[in-house]
Amino acid sequence: MSDDAPRYWTPEFVEAFVESVNSDEEFQDKAGSFSETVELRCLGTPDDEDVSATYAFEDGQIVDVDLWIDDAPSDQMRDEPVDKSEVMVRATAPYDVWVKMDKGEMGSTEALASPDYQIEGAMMKIMSNMGVFRGLNKVAAHVEKTY
């Protein structure tokens, strides 16, 4: 691991993640025509921040990212209702849960059963796209990073 690898859930990591998603052939095959907006929120990073990353997909490619970083705990971020007309799914978890998923210590089924992991959106649509979400986790796990 190089000394300049970005730390997980920083803007530099998000940038590397987007590049990896958009260039990963296996993910692109899985994602196909996936054209939705996905919001991922991480609470309590090592910098005492809450981070929300909203990824807009068109045909499996991330075409836009909206990154919101606020001091933790961010009541404004944590209390914001999900806009289901704009976002297909929103997943929220503390930093340590994201790290466990990234390291493969917690699978998606285990995360969904955890009281620390919250998923919001149209469940049927979410379940029918689980291959895409597993693919995103796999790509993220392979991005060089520090914790």
pLDDT tens digits for range 40-91: 999 999 999 999 999 999 999 999 999 999 999 999 999 999 999 999 999 9
pLDDT digits (tens, 9 = 90+) for 87-140: 999 999 999 999 999 999 998 889 888 999 999 998 999 999 999 999 999 999
Beta strand residue intervals within 77-116, DSSP E = 89-94
Is residue 71 within 8 Å of 90, Cβ to Cβ?
no
User: What does the alpha-carbon distance between residue 142 and residue 83 come to, in Å, rounded to a whole number?
Assistant: 30
Residue 108: the pLDDT is: 80
pLDDT of amino acid 1:
53
CA 16/CA 110 separation, integer angstroms: 26
What's the N-to-C CA distance of the chain in angstroms?
Answer: 12
Q: Domains, the chain, ranges and CATH? A: 11-135 (3.30.1050.10)
Residue 56 phi/psi, 5-degree rounding, is -100, 125
